[in-house]
Structure 1
Amino acid sequence: MQSKTQILVVDDDLEIRELLEEYLSKSGFGVSTVEDGEHLHRHLDEQGYPDLILLDVMLPGDDGFSLCQQIRKHSNVPIIMLTAVSDETDQIIGLEIGADDYVAKPFSPRQLSARIKALLRRVQVQEDKAPDTLPKTITFGDWVLDTLAHRIIHLENEEQHDLSGSDFSLLMLFLSRPNEVLDRDTISFATKGREALPFERGIDVQLSRLRNRLGDSGKYPQYIKTMRGNGYILAVPVSYEH
């Protein structure tokens, strides 16, 4: 019998924890809840990493941003940030430090469940790709991607960057379709498992973060170029080594 997908809810609001535990459990998930960073770390030490973490921004002690950064040092577990509805800054910061998606409060449990399922589908698609079907390394421009370690390495100065799950998915999308214009919905499906929302800033943040990693964040980027009104394109040669 297949075990349930495990979700860890981190929120200091007891009512929200109880609501999410009840709703997500009825949706077939295994759910654990903790109220702050101290209990989060204790849970991870005792139980290991779950399949997905719902992480509130406003927490006593270490806030959600700090905890997200701490988690990313050790794991690429999918993280959905729970942010204030009116604060776009929270949403952007969360994505910049490695969160995979965000849901603004107040939210409906049904909306949140849909986001969870979409993100888990994206992760499952990535995991279903057998290791022997992926190139061991992919060279593009002055960089090489280690597909097993999820790490990019500069060919000249050996600068290295580890990639979060969504960053890796975004880069793999471009590397699998070089010199092809990719629209925002295509990018959102690859990184979040869902269509892009109207006026959503998340894709812009992810692209900006990846460009920064590549040293390609100037006015005229050489790697990922913007095709105004159409999407984005990887404009450097790509080679694969199996």
Structure 2
Amino acid sequence: MSDNVKLLLVDDDQELCELIGEYLQSEGFDVSFAHSVEQALPLLLEDGSYDLLIFDIMMPGQSGLELLQQVRPRIKTPVIMLTGRGEDIDRIIGLEMGADDYLGKPCNPRELVARIRAVLRRSGQQPAAEESTDKLAIHGIELDCGKRQMQVSGSELELTSAEFNVLAELMRAAGTIVSKDELTEKVLHRKLTAYDRAIDVHVSRVRQKLAAVLPDRELIKTVRGAGYMLVNE
């Protein structure tokens, strides 16, 4: 499943890179490294052939967040952020800037591999157990789950892989409440844990993007203590 999947790990800790790199390579991934934003930018902007990027948030000089900010408008490649303990704000900012997921440091290599595969699955780069080819439509929003495309009133709208899957799950269940636990499992392919706000941020970003093209319509409602619901037409 991991054959020919190219990863770029950006972290100033060279010893950690070697350890993680060895494990990732043993799992079949093709791993490249950069130890600063300055090293990473040429690789990303000139090569750009990576399937997934892993950025450490805390690095000397420019941070992983600054790197994400510089490349996200031009590169749609999925990104996982590595964050130190107590960096909850940075995690949320990373997600708001377009990161697909995050993992705390020090990270368990097995958990990192699981997150990588989950992000690749939901971005359509590795097959899920049941490949969805649904075409969904409501409120003028059209999703083609096979092609991973979204249109609103005929105009294409860009979503990250996580945002696309959030909207797809809510559209499939339009008019009913989808719990945060269920959304986390279906979208992020992991269990919801205490203080995990990843799914909330992804839902918030979907709301913002829908509001930009469908103003004055609150399509996604928060049901306190229960979850989220896309309203029926």
- Name the TM-score, length of structure 2 as normaliser: 0.82
Match of 1:186 among 177, 182, 189: 182
Tell me if structure 1 keeps the 8 A contact 2:185–2:191: yes
- CA distance in 2: counterparts of 1:70 and 1:102, whole angstroms: 18
Question: Per the alignment, in what secondary structure is the counterpart of residue 73 of structure 1?
Answer: coil
Gaps of 5+ in 2: none
When residues 26 and 125 of structure 1 are mapped into structure 2, their CA distance, relative to the original with a 3 A threshold, is closer
1:172-209 deviation line (CA, Å, top 9, x unaligned) = 22122212321223211333222222231111111222
1:7-34 deviation line (CA, Å, top 9, x unaligned) = 1101111112111111111122111111
Structure-to-structure mapping, 1:54-93, within 5 angstroms: 54-93=54-93
- CA distance in 2: counterparts of 1:5 and 1:19, whole angstroms: 19
Match of 1:206 among 192, 202, 205: 202
When residues 71 and 176 of structure 1 are mapped into structure 2, their CA distance, relative to the original with a 3 A threshold, is farther
Deviation at 1:95, TM superposition (A): 0.7
- CA distance in 2: counterparts of 1:8 and 1:93, whole angstroms: 21
What is the aligned-residue identity percentage? 37
- CA distance in 2: counterparts of 1:174 and 1:213, whole angstroms: 15
- CA distance in 2: counterparts of 1:2 and 1:63, whole angstroms: 28
- CA distance in 1: counterparts of 2:74 and 2:150, whole angstroms: 14
Farther-moved stretch of structure 1 (79-88 vs 116-125) = 116-125
Deviation at 1:101, TM superposition (A): 0.7
The residue number in structure 1 matching 2:120 is 120
Matched, 1:108 2:108: yes
The residue number in structure 2 matching 1:240 is none
Farther-moved stretch of structure 1 (170-179 vs 146-155) = 146-155
Farther-moved stretch of structure 1 (53-62 vs 98-107) = 53-62
Tell me if structure 2 keeps the 8 A contact 1:5–1:30: yes
- CA distance in 2: counterparts of 1:75 and 1:184, whole angstroms: 29
Matched, 1:11 2:8: no
- Moved runs in structure 1, 4+ residues, more than 6 A? none
Gaps of 5+ in 1: 238-242
When residues 38 and 201 of structure 1 are mapped into structure 2, their CA distance, relative to the original with a 3 A threshold, is same
When residues 167 and 26 of structure 1 are mapped into structure 2, their CA distance, relative to the original with a 3 A threshold, is same
Tell me if structure 2 keeps the 8 A contact 1:84–1:90: no
- CA distance in 2: counterparts of 1:146 and 1:153, whole angstroms: 12
- CA distance in 1: counterparts of 2:58 and 2:153, whole angstroms: 37
Question: Per the alignment, in what secondary structure is the counterpart of residue 162 of structure 1?
Answer: coil
Deviation at 1:80, TM superposition (A): 0.6
Deviation at 1:149, TM superposition (A): 7.5
Tell me if structure 2 keeps the 8 A contact 1:72–1:164: no
Question: Per the alignment, in what secondary structure is the counterpart of residue 76 of structure 1?
Answer: coil
1:98-149 deviation line (CA, Å, top 9, x unaligned) = 11111112222222222222322333347x857xx443xx553365557758
The residue number in structure 2 matching 1:195 is 191
C-alpha RMSD over aligned residues: 3.0
Alignment coverage as a number of residue pairs: 227
Question: Per the alignment, in what secondary structure is the counterpart of residue 89 of structure 1?
Answer: helix
